């Protein structure tokens, strides 16, 4: 289990993460959602020890995570938002470097690297330098590098950012397969559809604070599983209903262009976080 206890990160006067408390169960696919600047990447950076908390702590199975905690760090693998790897290394060298950093034997590095690169369809490019790879190939390489070490916990910071729809779907399928191995995954994403499809539980954060936490199903149900969209004063307005009958009744009195649909996680995000932003 991963526990974030009163986790706070300040940059001068600016508080990026504000007393965040979370408990993430072993084997869980956990989503961290929020608008730009909500503190998602800062939280991931603290989980990867690149940033140290101003206050609070992170515990993995009850043991504090610090830069010196080699045993804890051995369990972790991070896929950052940016392509955080040597751009002048070849694909093979990136994989070997990762293996060496995690004390793998040369034989193990060779075998594992080949299997993963073949799985991601990158093996034939193994001698290509990273800076000459496409964005999608770099993302796949980051996943392969992350899996090289058989982690127990994987931190994914917007792993599909900038990918086309097809590559994104391929990535989802890959992530589901990974999660089936009982791996704990913490995902940050701007794609609500991605979070809804992949995550067991989701935490919405805004201005570094926890807004709400639940399963995608419960978050949607709490807002109302059915939505009616209609144009009011030149703006698209959505009304939410817990059951279909109420929605249909409402729709019968609504203008002709109104439509009924099921509520999505994006609606939850817009209603909860968007309303805060509007107020500000």
Partner 1 sequence: MGIITVLWEKWTEFKRDFYKITLAAMISPLMYLVIFGMGIQTTSHGEPYLNYLIPGIVAMSSMTGSFSAVAQNMSVQRLYEKALDQVMISPTPLWQFILGQIIGGSMRGMYSSCIIMLLTMPIHTGLIFNGYSFFILFLDGMVFSTIALVLSFTAKSYADAPKYTSYIITPMSFLCNTFFSTEQMPAGFRQIVSILPLSQCSSMVRSIAYGENPGYLGVIILLVYLAIFSTISFIFIYKKKNL
Binds partner 1 by CB under 8 A, chosen from 93, 200, 214, 229:
93
Task: Please state the closest distance from residue 47 (CB atom) to partner 1, in A.
Answer: 9
Binds partner 1 by CB under 8 A, chosen from 41, 77, 184, 188:
77
Size of the site for partner 1 (CB under 8 A): 34
Closer by beta carbon to partner 1, 151 or else 216: 151
Closer by beta carbon to partner 1, 11 or else 243: 11
Task: Please state the closest distance from residue 176 (CB atom) to partner 1, in A.
Answer: 24
Task: Please state the closest distance from residue 22 (CB atom) to partner 1, in A.
Answer: 19
Angle ∠(265,200,118) on CA atoms, nearest 5: 105
Are the C-beta atoms of residues 141 and 73 closer than 8 Å to each other? no
Q: Of residues 123-152, which lie at the interface with partner 1 (CB under 8 A)?
A: 145
Binds partner 1 by CB under 8 A, chosen from 103, 176, 182, 249:
103
Interface with partner 1, residue 97, by CB under 8 A = yes
Instruction: Count CB atoms within 10 A of the CB of residue 225.
Output: 16
Interface with partner 1, residue 181, by CB under 8 A = no
Residue 121 to residue 116: CA distance in whole angstroms: 8
Interface with partner 1, residue 78, by CB under 8 A = yes
Interface with partner 1, residue 8, by CB under 8 A = no
Interface with partner 1, residue 71, by CB under 8 A = yes
Binds partner 1 by CB under 8 A, chosen from 41, 49, 160, 189:
49
Residue 1 to residue 6: CA distance in whole angstroms: 16
Binds partner 1 by CB under 8 A, chosen from 25, 100, 217, 232:
100
Closer by beta carbon to partner 1, 68 or else 107: 68
Stretch of 17-25, 91-99, 114-122, 211-219 lying at the interface with partner 1 (CB under 8 A) = 91-99
Contacts of 12 (CB under 8 A, 6+ apart): none
Task: Please state the closest distance from residue 58 (CB atom) to partner 1, in A.
Answer: 12
Read off φ and ψ for residue 48, nearest 5 degrees: -95, 5
Interface with partner 1, residue 68, by CB under 8 A = yes
Beta strands in 178-232 (DSSP E): 184-188, 201-206, 209-214, 226-232
Residue 207 to residue 81: CA distance in whole angstroms: 19
Interface with partner 1, residue 88, by CB under 8 A = yes
Residue 279 to residue 244: CA distance in whole angstroms: 30
Contacts of 194 (CB under 8 A, 6+ apart): 160, 168, 172, 187
Element (H, E) at 7: strand 2-11
Handedness of CA 72, 75, 81, 87 (dihedral sign): positive
Interface with partner 1, residue 172, by CB under 8 A = no
Nearest CA to 81 out of 108, 45, 133 is that of 45
Interface with partner 1, residue 263, by CB under 8 A = no
Residues that bind partner 1 (CB under 8 A): 11, 48-52, 54, 67-68, 70-71, 73-74, 76-78, 80, 82-89, 93, 96-98, 100-103, 145
């Amino acid at each position: 289990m991963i526990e974030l206890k009163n986790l706070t990160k300040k940059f001068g006067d600016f508080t990026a993460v504000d007393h965040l408390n979370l408990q993430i169960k072993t084997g869980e696919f956990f989503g961290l959602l929020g608008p730009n600047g909500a503190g998602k990447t800062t939280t991931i950076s603290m989980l990867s020890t690149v940033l140290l908390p101003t206050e609070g702590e992170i515990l993995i199975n009850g043991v504090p995570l610090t830069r010196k905690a080699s045993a804890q760090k051995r369990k972790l693998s991070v896929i950052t938002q940016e392509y955080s790897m040597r751009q002048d290394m070849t694909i093979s060298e990136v994989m070997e470097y990762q293996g060496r950093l995690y004390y793998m034997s040369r034989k193990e590095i060779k075998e594992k690297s080949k299997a993963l690169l073949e799985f991601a369809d990158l093996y034939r490019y193994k001698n290509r330098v990273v800076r000459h790879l496409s964005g999608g190939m770099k993302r796949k390489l980051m996943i392969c590098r992350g899996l090289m070490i058989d982690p127990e916990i994987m931190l994914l910071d917007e792993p599909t950012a900038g990918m086309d729809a097809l590559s994104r779907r391929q990535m989802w399928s890959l992530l589901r397969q990974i999660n089936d191995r009982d791996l704990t995954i913490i995902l940050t994403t701007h794609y609500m559809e991605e979070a809804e499809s992949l995550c067991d539980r989701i935490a919405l954060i805004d201005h570094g604070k926890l807004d709400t936490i639940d399963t995608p199903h419960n978050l949607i149900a709490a807002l109302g599983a059915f939505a009616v969209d209609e144009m009011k004063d030149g703006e698209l307005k959505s009304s939410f209903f817990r059951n279909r009958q109420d929605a249909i009744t409402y729709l019968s009195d609504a203008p002709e262009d109104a439509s009924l649909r099921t509520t999505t996680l994006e609606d939850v995000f817009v209603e909860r976080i968007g309303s805060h932003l509007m107020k500000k």
